[in-house]
């Protein structure tokens, strides 16, 4: 005897009153309108204040309306959703601004001339000059750091994954973790303390040593992850054929994970290429081209940015150069990143774990 | 306050893949209905459409009607959150919240619905744990984490958690498949007791279990891999296991396939 | 990996290997090739340990040279005059500034990063969350000097309005009052650091939230939980220790950040009660700014301050690792 009429009289337990789909937009619009009203009325000139008032009103309105119509639990759910969206949008603003400003101001002076000339005797306030010496310096320092840091990192990772047991492996694992957290300036100070003892002047290779220290733990970690992905069956199959362990590692394990290892090394290079602090202490900077990383101060791209900014005393030409160098550096780092991720996707081992 | 379920013309999809097609059946209140059938026939998918859990899966969507005492779960203005409050669910693997104590696990559903006095909460937790035949085993360690219990105890804890909010219907998705025989027996006994208060639907791979615990049995099958699952027949359990009306059912039950 | 033991054992007619042979076989070091290779890899591991030890030893050595000449109190003096004879310097201001700027950064970054991680794993439309996560990954790779340049030339001028507003409404608290100087103060530093560590904390938290077992979330849903209640019941408790360690990693970065602070802050050797008044300094910033004019004696003093920073970051990172290790045990028990 359950006719539609009866079931309609009984209060449904399933049917919650729901706000329509467009309600968040409507509430946002309302909040914005009221905020603008308040802002104009009270004579607040900062748009940031208008925005903050609008955001707060939006949250209040959402909670109030939802609590009234849908109930407290739904209202809380809506508040959480709104907050999460607001947090996201809030974070996007500076990050978008960073990229936009770097690109838009960087392209002003970034051209072939800028990339192929150095500062030489160009005064800070003058236009002209470029990053050639800095690029050479960065490439040499980062290249040498990679030559030192990558092999040590990869070998250590092989030790930890393929041989590592006992106290030594545990100690290495722990200190690799610790090393990951070392501030770059501390690594710089370490090399500096050695240079003070041996009474040496700044030169490119000193920077390479500090960068290599920063690079090692990153490479160890990523290589370890990749080696662990190689299925044990592969190792066993090779060993069962009578292949010695070291040849198994070189001929079976490493080729299987080479894509991932390359990716890790490239990401580590991208990281150290942007390090400024150790270079500032150890390489010193140089407006002239110095191709020899083992003698005399060298330039470096991140350091160039800092020096153009800090020694220019507000000269616009120097700021323009700093932005252009930033764009160059970001482009280099991003290309490395994208290439690394590309390799990771292309060479990914098909069977995991 | 058990409720009746009336399903008509229900079809469920995962993205563009049709998982089950055109299922209609009635589940009586205060009874146990078992779903049996070969793997991939969509019985779990169908179960999850009964409390709108299917749409939680990315790409999951449903056509057709599921009436809970004359109210369509998929009707306009129906809040899926309220649906799941009325239609509780126990999963294949025991899933107590790992960070919560035994007490908090049982109280979790209640706390969602506003403030309870501590004494009220105590009463409901005790009642639910007793209802799940778990009280005597855990009453001295209610503040210990639920993950410290054995698999069978964890599953009964999940049942206690589900019945604490007094649902109208209890769905069980192969609740014993991860348990040993003794724990399984405990759960089966429990199901017999729970049907006095709830409408119970249970998916099982184990035909003896279906025969032991259920009043009615529904047999699902699919014509080929990749094809949608269909309801072949639903009847009294006794009849399904002794004299089914469809040949495929008999073949499946007698072990000729599946 | 006891594979090689098996290969040795697989030839029954030979007599059972001695204990020493067994041990060597277990390490796979039975042939010259194996021995060399093991030596190389283990040597690299040991080299890492040597570097760490050398770092501690040499920093301590140069620091002790500096501190022994210090005519101020190394811990409490509000001054950094290392080129005087005798030198007078202390790390009080730097320690204060480092801690304050990092706290500001954490207070701002952690909630927002957690919210973004939740947004990516539980709120954003699927099509959106993949690309956004990718972009955040890339932003974590932007060099800090670029953040510094952006902070100095873009963020600082834009802070003027906020500083005024904060002073108008919260100036009475004392810590948010503003005398109208250029907004190159700790709050700006904290905001910039927050922006810098946001991608790191977001990435790690996102990984943790993604690992929340589907079955716990379904358990909450089946009890009739709203999306936010699912997050509160199943996602946040599961991810809490992960978020804590992510935050510690972020904190480690914030504590040691050099260039971004050096470009944005206008330093001084006193402590400002208000976050909005310029002044103060951090360990790393001080090293970068004072290095150019420092004599050997001054450099040793900077090394001494760097040693303190080194110890602080070791403690923070050690704590983060301990939390992660605990979390591993804990999730293993539930697997």
**DSSP symbols for A237-297:** HHHHTT--HHHHIIIIIHHHHHHHHHHHHHHHHHHHHT--HHHHHHTB--SS----TTSS-
Give the minimum alpha-carbon distance from C127 to chain A in angstroms, rounded to a whole number: 16
| Domain shared by C99 and C26, yes or no | no
- Does C231 contact chain A (CB < 8 Å)? yes
| Domain shared by C43 and C113, yes or no | no
Peptide bond into C60 cis (omega under 30): no
| Domain end point (choices A104, A128, A162) | A104
Confirm if C290 and C82 have CB atoms less than 8 A apart: yes
| Domain shared by C169 and C309, yes or no | yes
Which chain C residues touch A159 with a CB distance below 8 Å?
A: 38, 41-42, 44-45
Burial of A201: CB neighbours in 10 Å, binned 0-12, 13-18, 19+? exposed
Question: Distance of CA A5 to CAs A11, A14, A29, B8, C89, Å?
Answer: 12, 17, 40, 21, 87
Residue A262 falls inside a structural domain: yes
Q: Which domain holds residue A46?
A: 20-104
| Domain shared by C62 and C95, yes or no | no
Q: For residue C25, what pLDDT is reported?
A: 53
| Domain shared by A228 and A153, yes or no | yes
Q: For residue C19, what pLDDT is reported?
A: 56
| Nearest CB neighbour to B70, from listed A2, A17, A74 | A2
Which chain B residues touch C215 with a CB distance below 8 Å?
A: 91, 93, 95
What number of C-beta contacts closer than 8 Å exist between B and C?
Answer: 67
Give the minimum alpha-carbon distance from C20 to chain A in angstroms, rounded to a whole number: 17
| Domain shared by A128 and A166, yes or no | yes
| Domain shared by A189 and A326, yes or no | yes
Three-class secondary structure of residue C174 per DSSP: coil
| Domain end point (choices C9, C32, C66) | C66
Residue C155 falls inside a structural domain: yes
Residue A140 falls inside a structural domain: yes
| Domain shared by A127 and A223, yes or no | yes
Confirm if C197 and C109 have CB atoms less than 8 A apart: yes
| Domain shared by C286 and C325, yes or no | yes
Task: Give the span between the Cα atoms of A347 and B7, in whole angstroms.
Answer: 49
Task: Give the span between the Cα atoms of C309 and C305, in whole angstroms.
Answer: 6
As a dihedral over the C-alpha atoms of residue B98, residue B102, residue B104, residue B109, rounded to 10 degrees, the angle is 90
Task: Give the span between the Cα atoms of C302 and C290, in whole angstroms.
Answer: 8
CB contact burial C126-143 (16+ within 10 A = b; e otherwise): eeebeebbeebbbbbbbb
Residue C12 falls inside a structural domain: no
| Domain shared by A145 and A95, yes or no | no
Q: Given the structure tokens 């749409």, which residue do they identify?
A: B55
Mutate to test the interface with A, among C146, C225, C226, C306 (most CBs of A within 10 A): C146
Residue C71 falls inside a structural domain: no
- Does C233 contact chain B (CB < 8 Å)? yes
| CATH number of A225's domain | 1.10.3720.10
CB contact under 8 A, C223 and B147: no
CB contact under 8 A, B78 and A14: yes
| Domain end point (choices A104, A137, A164) | A104
| Structural domains of chain A, count | 2
For residue B119 the two structure tokens come to 């004494």
Residues of B with CB under 8 A from a CB of C: 51, 53, 56, 58, 81-86, 88-89, 91, 93, 95-100, 108-109, 112, 147, 158, 161-162, 165
Confirm if C148 and A306 have CB atoms less than 8 A apart: yes
Query: What are the respective helix, strand and coil percentages of chain A, to the nearest 5?
Result: 75, 0, 25
Element (H, E) at B6: strand B5-14
Task: Give the span between the Cα atoms of A40 and C66, in whole angstroms.
Answer: 59
User: What's the half-sphere exposure (Cβ side, CA atoms, 13 Å) at A347?
Assistant: 20
Q: Given the structure tokens 């469809």, which residue do they identify?
A: B246
Q: Residues C19, C22, C24, CA angle at the centre, nearest 5°? A: 110
Q: For residue B236, what pLDDT is reported?
A: 94
| Domain shared by A97 and A137, yes or no | no
Residue A2 falls inside a structural domain: no
| Domain shared by C101 and C59, yes or no | no
| Domain shared by A198 and A325, yes or no | yes
| Domain shared by C121 and C32, yes or no | no
Beta strands in C61-101 (DSSP E): 80-81, 88-89
- Chains touching C (3+ CB pairs < 8 Å): A, B
Residue C3 falls inside a structural domain: no
| Domain shared by C111 and C211, yes or no | yes
CB contact under 8 A, A193 and C152: no
Q: Given the structure tokens 């021995």, which residue do they identify?
A: C35
Nearest CA among B58, B66, B53 for reference residue B162: B53
| pLDDT at position B98 over 90 | no
Look up the ipTM and state it.
0.87
| Domain shared by A138 and A72, yes or no | no
Nearest CA among B145, B113, B144, B111 for reference residue B125: B111
Q: For residue C12, what pLDDT is reported?
A: 43
Give the minimum alpha-carbon distance from C118 to chain B in angstroms, rounded to a whole number: 17
| Domain shared by A267 and A311, yes or no | yes
Mutate to test the interface with C, among B44, B47, B73, B95 (most CBs of C within 10 A): B95
DSSP letter at B98? Answer: T
pLDDT tens digit sequence for B185-242: 989 999 999 999 999 999 998 889 999 999 999 999 988 888 899 999 999 999 999 9
Residue A12 falls inside a structural domain: no
Task: Give the span between the Cα atoms of C174 and B186, in whole angstroms.
Answer: 65
Residue C8 falls inside a structural domain: no
Which chain C residues touch A245 with a CB distance below 8 Å?
A: 4, 28, 34, 37
Confidence of residue B8 (pLDDT cuts 50, 70, 90): very high
| pLDDT at position B177 over 70 | yes
Q: For residue A215, what pLDDT is reported?
A: 95
Mutate to test the interface with B, among C122, C217, C224 (most CBs of B within 10 A): C224
- Chains touching B (3+ CB pairs < 8 Å): A, C
Q: For residue A304, what pLDDT is reported?
A: 94
pLDDT tens digit sequence for B123-143: 999 999 998 889 999 999 999
Please state the pTM of the whole predicted model.
0.86
Q: For residue B82, what pLDDT is reported?
A: 87
| CATH number of C132's domain | 1.10.3720.10
Task: Give the span between the Cα atoms of C255 and A129, in whole angstroms.
Answer: 35
Which chain B residues touch C238 with a CB distance below 8 Å?
A: 98-99
| Domain end point (choices A104, A124, A153) | A104
Residue A8 falls inside a structural domain: no
Confirm if A279 and A292 have CB atoms less than 8 A apart: no
Q: Which domain holds residue C25?
A: 20-66
User: What's the half-sphere exposure (Cβ side, CA atoms, 13 Å) at A7?
Assistant: 13
For residue A48 the two structure tokens come to 């940031």
Helices and strands, number each (H, E), in chain A: 15, 0
DSSP letter at B95? Answer: -
| Domain shared by C210 and C309, yes or no | yes
Beta strands in A143-228 (DSSP E): none
Give the minimum alpha-carbon distance from A16 to chain B in angstroms, rounded to a whole number: 6
Residue of B nearest to A6 (CA): B70
Give the minimum alpha-carbon distance from A262 to chain C in angstroms, rounded to a whole number: 17
Q: What is the mean pLDDT of residues B92-108?
A: 90
Confirm if A93 and A82 have CB atoms less than 8 A apart: no
Q: For residue A11, what pLDDT is reported?
A: 55
Nearest CA among B75, B71, B55, B76 for reference residue B169: B71
| Domain shared by C100 and C45, yes or no | no
Give the minimum alpha-carbon distance from A7 to chain B in angstroms, rounded to a whole number: 7
Contacts with B, C 48-107, CB within 8 Å? none
| Structural domains of chain C, count | 2
Residue C85 falls inside a structural domain: no
User: What mean pLDDT is reported for chain B?
Assistant: 90
| Domain shared by A215 and A121, yes or no | yes
Residue A352 falls inside a structural domain: no
| Domain shared by A133 and A55, yes or no | no
- Chains touching A (3+ CB pairs < 8 Å): B, C
Task: Return the number of other C-beta atoms located less than 10 Å from residue B32's C-beta.
Answer: 25
Going C156 to C158 to C159 to C161, the CA torsion angle's sign is positive
- 10-residue averages of pLDDT along chain A (353 residues): 41 70 84 84 70 83 83 85 85 87 92 88 83 94 96 96 89 89 94 92 94 95 90 89 90 89 92 93 90 92 92 81 94 90 73 40
Residue C241 falls inside a structural domain: yes
Q: Which residues of chain C have pLDDT under 50?
A: 1-14, 28, 329-335
Residue A109 falls inside a structural domain: no
| Domain shared by C29 and C155, yes or no | no
Which chain C residues touch A97 with a CB distance below 8 Å?
A: 150, 154
| Domain shared by A233 and A179, yes or no | yes
Three-class secondary structure of residue B250 per DSSP: helix
Task: Give the span between the Cα atoms of A351 and A229, in whole angstroms.
Answer: 8
Residue C326 falls inside a structural domain: yes
| Domain shared by C62 and C97, yes or no | no
């Amino acid at each position: 005897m359950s006719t539609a009429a009866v079931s309609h009289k009984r209060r449904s337990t399933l049917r919650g009153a729901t706000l329509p789909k467009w309600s968040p937009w409507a509430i946002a619009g309302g909040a914005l309108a009221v905020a603008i009203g308040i802002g104009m009325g009270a004579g607040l000139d900062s748009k940031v204040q208008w925005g903050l008032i609008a955001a707060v009103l939006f949250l209040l309105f959402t909670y109030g309306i939802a609590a009234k119509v849908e109930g407290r639990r739904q209202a809380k759910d809506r508040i959480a959703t709104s907050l999460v969206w607001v947090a996201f949008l809030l974070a996007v603003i500076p990050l978008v601004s960073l990229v936009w400003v770097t690109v838009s101001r960087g392209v002003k002076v970034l051209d072939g001339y800028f990339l192929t000339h150095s500062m030489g005797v160009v005064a800070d306030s003058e236009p002209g000059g470029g990053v050639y010496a800095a690029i050479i310096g960065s490439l040499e320092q980062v290249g040498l750091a990679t030559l030192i840091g990558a092999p040590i990192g990869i070998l250590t990772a092989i030790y930890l994954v393929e041989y590592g047991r006992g106290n030594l492996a545990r100690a290495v694992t722990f200190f690799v973790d610790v090393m990951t957290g070392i501030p770059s300036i501390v690594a710089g100070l370490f090399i500096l303390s050695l240079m003070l003892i041996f009474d040496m002047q700044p030169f490119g290779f000193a920077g390479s040593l500090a960068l290599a220290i920063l690079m090692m733990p990153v490479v160890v970690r990523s290589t370890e992850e990749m080696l662990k992905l190689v299925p044990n069956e592969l190792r066993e199959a090779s060993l069962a054929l009578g292949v010695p362990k070291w040849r198994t590692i070189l001929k079976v394990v490493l080729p299987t994970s080479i894509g991932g290892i390359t990716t890790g090394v490239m990401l580590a290079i991208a990281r150290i290429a942007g390090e400024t602090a150790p270079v500032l202490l150890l390489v010193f900077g140089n407006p002239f081209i110095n191709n020899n990383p083992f003698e005399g101060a060298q330039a470096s791209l991140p350091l160039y940015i800092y020096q153009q900014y800090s020694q220019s005393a507000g000269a616009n030409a120097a700021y323009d150069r700093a932005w252009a160098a930033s764009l160059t550096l970001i482009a280099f780092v991003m290309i490395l990143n994208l290439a690394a991720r590309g390799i990771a996707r292309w060479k990914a081992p098909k069977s995991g774990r | 306050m058990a409720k009746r379920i009336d399903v008509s013309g229900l079809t469920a999809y995962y993205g563009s893949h049709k998982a089950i097609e055109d299922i209609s059946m009635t589940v009586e209140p205060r009874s146990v209905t078992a779903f049996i059938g070969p793997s991939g026939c969509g019985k779990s998918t169908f179960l999850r459409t009964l409390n709108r859990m299917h749409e939680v899966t990315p790409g999951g969507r449903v056509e057709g009607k599921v009436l809970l005492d004359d109210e369509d779960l998929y009707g306009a203005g129906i809040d899926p959150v309220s649906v799941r409050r009325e239609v509780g669910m126990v999963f294949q693997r025991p899933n107590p919240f790992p960070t919560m104590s035994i007490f908090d696990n049982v109280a979790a559903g209640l706390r969602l619905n506003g403030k309870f006095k501590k004494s009220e909460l105590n009463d409901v937790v005790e009642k639910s744990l007793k209802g799940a035949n778990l009280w005597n085993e855990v009453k001295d360690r209610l503040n210990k984490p639920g993950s410290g219990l054995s698999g069978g105890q964890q599953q009964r804890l999940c049942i206690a958690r589900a019945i604490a909010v007094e649902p109208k219907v209890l769905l069980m998705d192969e609740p014993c498949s991860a348990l040993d025989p003794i724990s399984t027996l405990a759960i089966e006994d429990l199901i017999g007791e729970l049907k006095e208060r709830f409408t119970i639907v249970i998916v099982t791979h184990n035909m003896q279990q279906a025969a032991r615990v259920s009043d009615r049995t529904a047999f699902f099958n699919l014509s080929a891999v990749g094809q949608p699952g269909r309801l072949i027949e639903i009847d009294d359990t006794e009849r399904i296991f002794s004299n089914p009306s469809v040949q495929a059912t008999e073949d499946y039950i007698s072990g000729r396939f599946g | 990996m006891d594979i090689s033991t098996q290969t040795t054992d697989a030839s029954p007619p030979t007599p059972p290997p001695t204990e020493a042979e067994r041990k060597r076989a277990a390490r796979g070091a039975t042939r010259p090739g194996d021995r060399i290779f093991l030596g190389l890899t283990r040597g690299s591991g040991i080299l890492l340990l040597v570097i760490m030890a050398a770092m501690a030893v040499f920093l301590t050595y140069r620091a002790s040279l500096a501190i022994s000449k210090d005519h101020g109190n190394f811990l409490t003096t509000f001054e950094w005059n290392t080129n005087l004879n005798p030198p007078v310097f202390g790390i009080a201001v730097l320690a204060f500034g480092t801690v304050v700027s990092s706290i500001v950064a954490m207070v701002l970054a952690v909630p927002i990063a957690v919210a973004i991680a939740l947004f990516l794993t539980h709120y954003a439309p699927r099509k959106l969350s993949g690309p956004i996560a990718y972009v955040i990954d890339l932003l974590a790779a932007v060099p800090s000097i670029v953040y510094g340049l952006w902070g100095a030339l873009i963020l600082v001028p834009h802070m003027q309005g906020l500083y005024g507003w904060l002073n108008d409404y919260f100036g009475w608290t004392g810590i948010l009052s503003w005398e109208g100087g250029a907004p190159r103060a700790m709050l700006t530093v904290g905001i910039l650091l927050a922006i810098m560590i946001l991608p790191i904390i977001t990435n790690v938290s996102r990984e943790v939230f993604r690992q929340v077992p589907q079955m716990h979330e379904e358990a909450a849903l089946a009890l009739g939980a709203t999306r936010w209640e699912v997050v509160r019941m199943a996602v946040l408790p599961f991810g809490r220790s992960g978020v804590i360690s992510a935050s510690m990693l972020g904190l480690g970065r914030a504590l040691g950040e050099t260039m971004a602070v050096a470009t944005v802050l206008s330093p001084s050797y006193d402590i400002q009660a208000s976050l909005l008044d310029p002044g103060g300094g951090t360990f790393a910033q001080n090293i970068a700014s004072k290095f150019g004019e420092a004599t050997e004696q001054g450099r040793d003093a900077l090394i001494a301050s760097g040693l303190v920073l080194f110890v602080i970051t070791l403690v923070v990172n050690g704590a983060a690792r301990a939390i992660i290790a605990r979390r591993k045990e804990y999730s293993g028990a539930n697997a």
